[in-house]
Amino acid sequence: MTPVEIAYFKHFMFDKDLARSFQHLYQTRRILGSPRGDKDANPELIEDYFLKTSAKDVIMKAFYFAPTNNNAQRLYNTFDYWKDIDDKWQEYMRQNESNFSNDSWPQLRKTFAILRQNWDAPGYWKKENLESTEEVYERMHIDLPLPDFIWLHGDVPPQTKRNDAEQIAVNIHNAKDGDVLVRVRKNDEGDTFRMILLFRELITCEVDGVNLHKAMTYCNYNIHSR
């Protein structure tokens, strides 16, 4: 899964109060592969599994299911139970896959701050156990320049601002008054989403105690095409 998909999956599991059930079943019933080899085996670490799998398969190919029966105590690990959850997850992902906020995931803030949770670590949900930007990037094998505002373990951002010439060359920091900027995204169905901005200036602002850059525009348009 992509970092965006992993973030939404973790939110979905928490919102449905399913995170611990999913983690327990993965740890105790994960798919170990065939007797002839382990090419189909799921990794021991659930975070590695998230990187290996897809949003389509993350639930239904995570672990073995118990036969569906009338035993209420075993209902939570049956195929029918998780297939219903998977249907809801697929719809949830469809509703969020084109959110414009998805482009901001490398900052690991707001919706994507949940990526700082390492589900293989004890007490991963506690504030003191949240990972820093560097730790998240290393764990998820993210090969991107660190964001302008770096969140350090246990502290409130921002802590460090870096001047990265490569980063500045490819983002909105390089825009000038009157420039037309276009962001293009495509989903799995082939739909194209374009955000067209007539750029004016970049200003600094503070949101929830965090210093940010905000793009001011003369106008902007959102276009969806097939």
pLDDT in tens, 108-134: 988 999 999 999 999 999 888 999 999
pLDDT band of residue 169 (cuts 50, 70, 90) is very low
pLDDT band of residue 177 (cuts 50, 70, 90) is confident
Q: Does 49 share its domain with 127?
A: no
Best mean pLDDT range from 63-72, 93-102, 165-174:
93-102
The CB density around residue 18, as the number of other CB atoms within 10 Å, is 17
Q: Which has the minimum average pLDDT: 97-101, 206-210, 220-224?
A: 206-210
The CB density around residue 199, as the number of other CB atoms within 10 Å, is 18
Q: Does 129 share its domain with 205?
A: no
Total number of domains in the chain: 3
Percent of the chain at pLDDT > 90 equals 42
The CB density around residue 131, as the number of other CB atoms within 10 Å, is 20
The whole-angstrom separation of Cα 53 and Cα 70 is 31
pLDDT band of residue 181 (cuts 50, 70, 90) is confident
The CB density around residue 116, as the number of other CB atoms within 10 Å, is 20
pLDDT band of residue 173 (cuts 50, 70, 90) is low
9, 24, 47, 55, 169 from 61: Cα distances, Å: 15, 15, 15, 11, 41
Please identify, among 146, 170, 194, the residue that sits at the C-terminal boundary of a domain.
170
The whole-angstrom separation of Cα 100 and Cα 78 is 36
Q: Does 126 share its domain with 185?
A: no
Give per-residue pLDDT as tens, 3-37: 999 999 999 999 999 999 999 999 999 988 655 55
Q: In sequence order, what are the beta bridge partners of 150?
A: 160
Q: Does 91 share its domain with 107?
A: no
- Kindly tell me the number of DSSP H helices and DSSP E strands found in the chain: 6, 5
Please identify, among 50, 69, 96, the residue that sits at the C-terminal boundary of a domain.
96
Please identify, among 40, 61, 96, the residue that sits at the C-terminal boundary of a domain.
96
pLDDT at 158: 47
Q: Which domain holds residue 192?
A: 175-226
